[in-house]
Structure 1
């Protein structure tokens, strides 16, 4: 453990699986006390907390579905209560907006329900979670949102997803300017194609699809969750104190 984040408190939304799990484990390994948020996967979140604690880190789980009425108030009500008990403060140092949904659908196949779900979870929730988090941050705070290379590369079958993530790019640039006077940085980290549950429907069991996805990067492989977690760890560290409003490309060159 580097302990570069010792004494820091981090909230990772969607931290129970895939990229979120890798991020939570990396931030904990770097010394942060990590709140592992989950929507419905309580057992998976408990497993992440157990793994972190087995490695000598500190973590706890918070359950709150996003994209529903009262989601942000419910999440921060739980977070504040736990933090008050554990540290005597509700201060938050690092927010990682990782939770998201992605459904394959082109223009004709995108229903209003699917469209609304993507914006509720991928754009609205991160905005108001960031609003609440910023109220609890001091100078040195970090807001990091997981974006996508699909705001730089067009794929018609993911139009609603890409649109919702494009909102994140604009949000992060704008809030970077607003929060800089307070010493808070705001950045986007964009993964490439990762073999997670989100992509399981088309990536697993289809050799041609997998080969195509691997070929998108000049490195000839898929993005590993740890690849993304390493970039997030940098953005969360003091080394990134003068980096803000940036789109940090962790696609392995897939959008070159």
Structure 2
């Protein structure tokens, strides 16, 4: 067996004498779209596990700074950076910002976890989907994830984790979500290729696929439309619609030290929708 493919454990590092000071420090997670919704919940759940946080926001700076304040109140180090995940031309500059803030706030050169979470909802029948809508989804949900991850790879520590966010809609089909779900299907394929190519660095790459969640995503329809909420609950084995903390908790579990042997997997967190 090639040495780079051997299972990595902290115990193995200790036995080899290779454990370093940096490996005993707090882990750092970079979360895109961390100012609200699932990203915010993931930040809180990870902070509760002792993880420091760098989160991004597109326009809601005040919300992002409020999350940072919550992290610091919990005793964690945290920072917020502006990022438009749909604009790949800004990624090189963003990576430089991440490098600078790592050095300034953590005296580190790398972070440990990348959560590609930021996104937008879109609901339109195939016959009514415009090219502009389609291109926007490509830029945010596929091109953005691909090239942002590419730019950040040098900053992700060996034996780190990448977690991409997909959707239950890649398993079941609901009218109006063809373009959105197609982008997420591409992310699920990309996840496998990332896991294969990054395996020699000991970096695991997985994808979490939430079901319907009560957030403001997609205009907040699942949260605010009582009829839709009731329908989703009736089609879910656990009898209710998901909450942000359901997904935040699942993300924290996937990124925990006990999940290091899970790799290249699609993990659905939907409470059992449409079984």
Aligned to 2:74: 55
- Secondary structure of 2:159 counterpart: coil
Aligned equivalents of 2:224 and 2:118: distance in 1?
25
TM-score normalised by structure 1 residue count: 0.93
- Counterparts of residues 65-214 of structure 1 (less than 5 Å): 65-214=84-233
Q: Are the counterparts in 2 of residues 189 and 250 from structure 1 also a CA contact under 8 Å?
A: yes
Aligned residue pairs total 252
Q: Deviations over 1:132-152 (max 9, x none)?
A: 232222332100011101000
Post-superposition CA distance 1:168-207 (Å, at most 9, x none): 1000011111111210000001111111111434334432
Q: Which ranges of structure 2 fall in alignment gaps of 5 or more residues? A: 1-23
Matched, 1:21 2:43: no
Structure 1 pair 51–165 and aligned structure 2 pair: CA distance change class (3 A): same
- Give the C-alpha shift of residue 63 in structure 1: 0.7
Q: Which segment is superposed worse, 123-132 or 241-250?
A: 123-132
2:42, 2:221 → 1: CA distance?
A: 24
Q: Is the 8 A contact 1:147 1:190 kept in 2?
A: yes
Please tell me whether residue 231 in structure 1 is matched to residue 250 in structure 2.
yes
SS across alignment from 2:138: helix
Mapped to 2, the partners of 1:78 and 1:57 lie a distance apart of: 20
Contact 1:148–1:192 at 8 Å: present in 2 too? yes
Q: Quote the Cα distance in structure 1 between the aligned partners of 2:110 and 2:256.
A: 17
Q: Is the 8 A contact 1:6 1:32 kept in 2?
A: no
Please give the per-residue CA displacement for 1:27-60, whole angstroms capped at 9, x wherever unaligned. 1221122001101110110111111112222211
Contact 1:152 1:255 in 2 (8 A): no
Partners of 1:226 and 1:86 lie apart in 2 by: 28
* Higher Rg of the two aligned structures: 2
8 Å Cα contact 2:88/2:143 also seen in 1: no
5+ residue gaps, structure 1, are: none
Map Cα deviations across residues 40-94 of structure 1 (whole Å, 9 max, x no partner).
1101101111111122222111111121242322321221111111223320210
Out of 128-137 and 46-55, give the one that drifted further.
128-137
Q: TM-score, normalised by structure 2?
A: 0.87
CA–CA separation in structure 1 for the residues paired with 2:158 and 2:202: 4
